[in-house]
Amino acid sequence: MGFLRLPDFSQWSNPAVYTAGFTIAVVASLETLVNLEAIDKLDPRLRPSPPSRELLAQGIGNVLVGLIGGIPVTSVIVRGSVSINAGGQTKLVTIVHGLLLLVSVMFLPVWLNLIPLSCLAAILLVTGFKLVSPALVRQMWSEGRYQFAPFVLTVVSIVLTDLLIGVGIGIAISLAFVLSSNLRRPQRCIVEQHLGGKVLHVELANQVSFLNRAALDQVFNSIARGDHILLDAQNTVYIDPDILSMIREFQQKVAPVRGVQVSLRGFRDKFKLRNELQYVEYSTRDLQGLLTPAQVLQILKDGNERFRSGQRLTRDLGRQLQATALGQHPLAVVLSCIDSRTPTELIFDLGLGDIFSIRIAGNITSPKVLGSMEYGCVVAGAKLIVIIGHTQCGAVTAAVNLASSQENVEQATGCQHLEPIIHEIQHVIDPQSASRLEHLTADEKTDFVNMVARRNVIHSVALIMQQSRTINRLVQEGRIEMLGAMYDVVTGRIEFFPHETVGQPLPGEGPVPGDES
C-alpha cells in the first residue's frame, strides 16, 4: 500500500511536467497502435481490433493510474503473443492476464527479480523475429523500392534510436516517398476517341499541390489548336488554390485564344469551378448524318478493342439520359443472341442512344425482327446492320444435339415455344455430320457448335437480304451496310466478316470435324 501516492498538484506550473506527459502520451499511443496491428496478424482467426476503443480505454486507465501513483501502461507485444500462444480467444484473457500480473507484482516480486534479464531479452528477440521475419522482408522487397525503403529505414531507425523517434523518421520517409511519387506522376493522361472526336482525358491526383503546377502546365502547353481536353477531378479531394487559379485562367483566357475546348468533370463545389462537358459522347442527328457505314463499323471495332483492353471511355450517363430524352439517332442496328454474356452496348463500349439492339435466342430472323431493322434504318437513320453470333451458344448447342434426335424440342428441353428457333438454326447443320457427333471428342464438338453458330450468322444475313426488299434496296443503294460477326465469349474479341453464302466456308475455316467430305 506504500506505493499508492497522490499526485503533487503543486507542479501545475512546471513545463517539464507537460513535456513529459505529452511525450509519454505519444509514445504510449504509437506503441499501442503498432502492437495492436502486430497482434492482429498473430491472431489465428485474424480478427480486427478497434484501435480507437483501445486508445480510449488506455487513456482512461492511465489517468486513473496516475491519480494513485502508478506508471503509464501500454499494449505490449509480449503479453499479447503469450495470450495467443496460451489459446486465449476472448476478452476474458485480458482480465485473467491482468489479475495474474497484479498477484505476481504484489506477492511475488522477489521471485520475479530472480528472472535473468537475458531470458526476457531472448523472449523479445524471438517475438521481434516473428514480426520482422525473412518472409516479411522478402514480401516487402517484392513490392518494390517504394515499399521496401521506408520499411527498412523505419526498422533501422527504431533500433538505433527509440520507438518515438524511429516511427517519426518512418513517417517522414513515407511522406517523402508519397510526395516524390505525386510529383513524378501528378496526373494520368489518356487520349479517348469519342464519337465527336479525340479528347485528352486528364485524371487529376487525389491531392493536387503546388508541386504539380509544372507538370499540369506542361500538359496545357502541349495541347494543339482545335484539340479538346477533359480535366477529371472525380477522385480529387484537395487542389491547391494556385492550381485552381491556373485552371481558371487556362479555361477562361488561354484556351479560347488557342482554339482549345476545355471540359470539367468531378470538381467539388468548394473549388468554385462549374462542371461542363463540351464534347459529343453520344450519337446526335448531325453526327449520324455525317458518318458513313464504314466509319460506323470502325467505331464499333474501336469500341470492342477498348472493351477487351479494359480502357473503356469515361461517360456521363446522366448527361446522355437528358440528351436522348427527346429523340434518338442510332448509328447501327445490332441483332444478337439473348446470351447474358453478350450485352451489345458493353462489348462495343457504347452509350445511351448509340445503337438499336435486337436480341433473340440464336440471333435468328423473323418478320418482327425484319420490321425492327427496317424501322431502325429507314425511320431512325441507322447506317449499319450487324448480325452477331457467339461461341458456346446455348441455342446452337441445343439445335446441334437435337439434329439427330428423335425427340421433339418440347420433350427434350421442356420449352413450349423454342421449336421455331431450333428449326431455323438446324437449316445450316449437315445431317450426316450431326449423326456422327457422338463419336467426336469434347473439343471437336465445341468446334463444331461454334462453326454452326458462324454459319447461322451467314444464313441470317442471307435471309434478311432475301426477305426484306427495304433492307436489300438500302444496301444496293449504298445507304447502309450489313455484315455478320462472331463474338468470342472467352477473349471478348469480335470478328467481323462480310456477307457470304451459306455453303461457302469462311476464311481460315477447316472442314467440319468428323465430316470426311
> Do residues 454 and 335 both lie within one domain?
yes
Same-domain status, 324 and 466: yes
**Residue 121's domain spans which residues?**
9-153
Cell of 374: 427496317
Say if residue 195 is in the same domain as residue 326: no
Do 148 and 54 sit in the same domain of this protein?
yes
Q: Output the nine-digit C-alpha cell for 483.
A: 455484315
The last residue of a domain, from among 247, 271, 295:
271
Kindly state whether residues 405 and 482 are assigned to the same domain: yes
Query: Measured between alpha carbons, how far is 222 from 58 in angstroms, rounded to an integer?
Result: 56
Contacts of 314 (CB under 8 A, 6+ apart): 192, 201, 230, 232, 265
Last residue of a domain, one of 271, 305, 330: 271
User: Which DSSP helix (H) or strand (E) runs through 147?
Assistant: helix 145-160
Residues 146/183, Cβ–Cβ less than 8 Å: no
One domain, residues 256 and 140: no
Kind of pairing, strands 481-487 and 384-390? parallel
Q: How far apart are CA 125 and CA 104, in angstroms?
A: 24
Is residue 305 located within the same domain as residue 411? yes
One domain, residues 259 and 300? no
Could you tell me if 288 and 383 are in contact, meaning their C-beta atoms sit under 8 angstroms apart?
Answer: yes
Give the count of domains, the chain: 3
Q: Is residue 355 part of a domain?
A: yes
2/7 Cα distance (integer angstroms) = 14
State the pTM of this model.
0.66
Structural domain includes residue 379 = yes
pLDDT of residue 350: 92
Is there a domain that residue 174 lies in? Answer: no
Query: Has residue 449 been placed in a domain?
Result: yes
Predicted local distance difference test score (pLDDT) of residue 516: 43
Question: What count of residues does the chain have?
Answer: 517
Query: Which residue, chain included where needed, has cell 524511429?
Result: 166
For residue 90, the model assigns a pLDDT of: 86
Whole-angstrom distance, CA of residue 413 vs CA of residue 411: 6
pLDDT of residue 340: 93
Q: Are residues 106 and 214 in the same domain?
A: no
**In the beta sheet, which residues pair with residue 240?**
none
Phi, psi of 51 (to 5 degrees): -65, -35
Instruction: Please say which residue of 223, 244, 271 terminates a domain.
Output: 271
What was the pLDDT predicted at 508? 36
Kindly state whether residue 132 falls inside one of the protein's structural domains: yes
Strands 207-208 and 494-497: unpaired
CATH number of 223's domain: 3.30.750.24
Q: Which residues of 63-77 are buried (b: 16+ CB within 10 A; e: fewer)?
A: eeeeeeeeebebbeb
Q: Based on the fold, state whether residues 136 and 195 are members of the same structural domain.
A: no
CB neighbours of 465 closer than 8 A, spacing ≥ 6?
471, 472, 475, 482, 499
Determine the Cα–Cα distance for residues 302 and 87; give it in Å rounded to an integer: 60
3-state secondary structure of 95: helix
Residues 234 and 291 in one domain: no
Q: Residue 161 domain-assigned?
A: no
Low-confidence ranges of the chain (pLDDT < 70): 181-186, 499-517
pLDDT of 407 reads 79
As a whole number of angstroms, the distance between CA 124 and CA 79 comes to: 11
Please indicate, yes or no, whether residues 340 and 470 belong to a single structural domain of this protein: yes
